[in-house]
Structures are given as structure tokens and as C-alpha cells.
């Protein structure tokens, strides 16, 4: 890896205050101990896509991000694709959704959930 890529790979994934609030709202209706799991999968119109699930099980090697009472889990394979990213929540004229600002993505589709490296 070059120095820029290496420095991004060592940068943590963050969760914005807006995203933490929305995650907290979602998890209120779930059983106690439920967390949001974010992962990267092959597919989508740009090659990779983000997946959002609720999960009550944390793996030993998950990245765990806690902010304002919200807990996000990211598996180690997905962390490699998401290093340096910010998980945000936007509510605009098009609709409300989680958006990931990923510095590793070289292209993204209009829906905001698919990206290329």
C-alpha cells in the first residue's frame, strides 16, 4: 500500500451524531442488547453494497462503535473496505436513509448504497 492508502486503512470508522440518534430510535423497538450491524457485500450496481441489519450477537473480532447509546458492529472484512468512513443519517427531499461517506470508494451509484473501489 502507498502512504495515503495505508493511512486511510488505519483510520477508524465513525458514526455521526445524527446516525447515532436514528440508530437509537430503531433499536428502541428491538429486544434489549440489539445492535446495528453494517457490512459490505459484493453486488449492487457499482460492485459492492452496504448492508444494514440488527444483531444481538457480537463476534470476537467485530469492530464495535458506541456513540450516544447506539452500538454499531462491523466485521473485520467489511472494516477493510470501510476504513476512514463516516456512517451518517440524512433526511432530505428524496427520503431518509443511512449514508456512508467512504474515502476508499472510487465511484458510487445514485442510490448511495453501492460503491466501487
Q: How many CA atoms lie within 13 A of 26 on its CB side?
A: 20
- Contact of 70 with 23, CB cutoff 8 Å: yes
Q: Which of 78, 75, 90 is nearest to 50 (CA)?
A: 78
Residues 6 or more apart whose CB falls under 8 angstroms from that of 61 comprise 75, 76
Q: Which domain holds residue 18?
A: 3-116
- Bridge partners of 87, per DSSP, are 15, 100
Domain count, the chain: 1
The pLDDT mean for the chain works out to 85
Report the share of the chain in percent with pLDDT over 70: 79
- Write down the pLDDT at residue 112: 57
Q: Quick one: average pLDDT of 86-90?
A: 95
Please tell me the predicted confidence (pLDDT) of residue 43: 77
Check which CATH number belongs to the domain holding 96 and give it.
2.60.300.12
Can you name the residues that pair with 41 across neighbouring β-strands?
49
pLDDT tens column, 33-74: 999 999 999 876 768 889 999 999 999 999 999 999 899 999
Amino acid at each position: 500500500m502507498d502512504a495515503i492508502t495505508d493511512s486511510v486503512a488505519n483510520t477508524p470508522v465513525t458514526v455521526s451524531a445524527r446516525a447515532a440518534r436514528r440508530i437509537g430510535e430503531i433499536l428502541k423497538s428491538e429486544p434489549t442488547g440489539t445492535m446495528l450491524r453494517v457490512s459490505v457485500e459484493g453486488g449492487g450496481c457499482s460492485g459492492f453494497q452496504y448492508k444494514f441489519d440488527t444483531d444481538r450477537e457480537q463476534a470476537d473480532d467485530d469492530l464495535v462503535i458506541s456513540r450516544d447509546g447506539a452500538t454499531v458492529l462491523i466485521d473485520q472484512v467489511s472494516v477493510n473496505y470501510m476504513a476512514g468512513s463516516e456512517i451518517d443519517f440524512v433526511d432530505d427531499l428524496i427520503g431518509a436513509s443511512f449514508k456512508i461517506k467512504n474515502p476508499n470508494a472510487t465511484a458510487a451509484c445514485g442510490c448511495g448504497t453501492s460503491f466501487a473501489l
